[in-house]
C-alpha cells in the first residue's frame, strides 16, 4: 500500500511566538481590548499576519496565551512553612494582577468566554490548569514538613487541589479586579490565616 509522505511543514519559531505575545500585551496597554487587532499585533511583532492565523484562531485565543505566559512566571520557592509559601505566592499573584495588560486581558477574555465555550476551555487549559501545580507543590512541601497529613490515592486530592486553587485565585481576583481594593501584606496575612484555619480544620475533621 502506498503511504503518503509525512508533512513536515515549517517548525514554529519560539522567538516569533515570544515576539507576538509581547506585542499583544503591548498593544493591549496602548489600544485596549476593543481596538486591538491582529494586524496591529503582526506589525508590532514584525511578522506576517498569516503567521498569527496559523497559530491562533482569533484575538481571544491570542490574548489568553499572551497572559498565560505572564502567569507561567509565578513560582513558589520554599519559604519554610505553608503559611509563608501561601503569602509569597498571593503577593506575587497580586503584583501580576496590577499590571495593566493583565487586568485588561483577564477582564476581557472572561467576559468573552461567557458566550464562547471553546474560549472557556482555553482559559482553563492555558491558565488555570497550568497554575494548579503551585497548589500541588505547596501541599507536598507541607506534607513533607508534617504540617498536613499525607494523602493516599483516591482520597480526593484532585478535588482538594481544585478547591484550594479556586479559593485563592477567586478571592484575589475579586479583591484586585472587581472590588479594586489593595492586596497588601496586611490583607494577605489576614487572608492566609483564614485559609490556614480552614485547611487545619479540614484535616482535624
Q: For position 185, what pLDDT does the model report?
A: 96
What are the Cα distances from residue 70, in Å, to 7, 65, 114, 130, 162?
33, 9, 23, 12, 21
Q: What is the pLDDT of residue 149?
A: 85
pTM summary value: 0.83
| C-alpha–C-alpha distance, residues 26 and 77, integer Å | 29
Rounded Cα distance, 198 and 3, in Å = 60
Distance of CA 153 to CAs 142, 150, 156, Å? 17, 10, 8
User: All 3 cell numbers of residue 100?
Assistant: 495593566
State the pLDDT at residue 134: 95
Q: CB neighbours (10 Å) of residue 176? A: 21
At 7 the pLDDT is 37
- Nine-digit cell string for 94: 497580586
The DSSP element (H or E) to which 90 belongs, if any, is helix 82-97
pLDDT along the chain (205 residues), means of 10: 41 83 94 91 94 91 94 94 96 95 90 91 94 94 90 68 93 94 96 88 52
What pLDDT shows up at residue 158? 77
Residue 95 DSSP code:
H
Q: Rounded to an integer, what distance in angstroms lies between the CA atom of residue 168 and that of residue 1?
A: 57
CB 122 within 8 A of CB 61: yes
Residues in Cβ contact with 77 at an 8 Å cutoff, skipping those fewer than 6 apart: 88
| Sequence-distant (≥ 6) Cβ neighbours of residue 48 within 8 angstroms | 42
Amino acid at each position: 500500500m502506498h503511504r503518503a509522505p509525512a508533512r513536515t511543514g515549517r517548525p514554529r519559531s519560539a522567538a516569533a511566538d515570544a515576539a507576538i505575545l509581547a506585542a499583544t500585551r503591548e498593544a493591549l496597554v496602548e489600544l485596549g481590548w476593543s481596538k486591538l487587532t491582529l494586524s496591529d499585533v503582526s506589525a508590532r511583532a514584525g511578522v506576517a499576519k498569516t503567521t498569527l492565523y496559523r497559530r491562533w484562531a482569533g484575538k481571544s485565543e491570542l490574548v489568553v496565551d499572551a497572559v498565560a505566559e505572564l502567569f507561567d512566571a509565578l513560582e513558589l520557592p520554599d519559604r519554610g512553612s505553608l503559611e509563608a509559601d501561601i503569602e509569597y505566592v498571593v503577593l506575587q499573584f497580586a503584583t501580576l494582577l496590577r499590571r495593566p495588560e493583565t487586568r485588561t486581558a483577564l477582564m476581557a477574555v472572561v467576559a468573552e468566554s461567557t458566550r464562547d465555550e471553546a474560549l472557556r476551555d482555553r482559559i482553563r487549559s492555558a491558565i488555570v490548569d497550568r497554575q494548579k501545580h503551585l497548589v500541588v507543590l505547596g501541599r507536598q512541601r507541607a506534607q513533607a514538613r508534617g504540617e498536613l497529613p499525607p494523602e493516599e490515592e483516591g482520597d480526593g486530592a484532585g478535588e482538594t487541589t481544585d478547591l484550594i486553587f479556586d479559593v485563592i485565585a477567586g478571592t484575589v481576583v475579586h479583591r484586585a479586579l472587581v472590588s479594586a481594593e489593595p492586596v497588601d501584606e496586611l490583607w494577605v496575612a489576614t487572608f492566609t490565616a483564614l485559609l490556614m484555619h480552614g485547611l487545619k480544620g479540614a484535616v482535624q475533621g
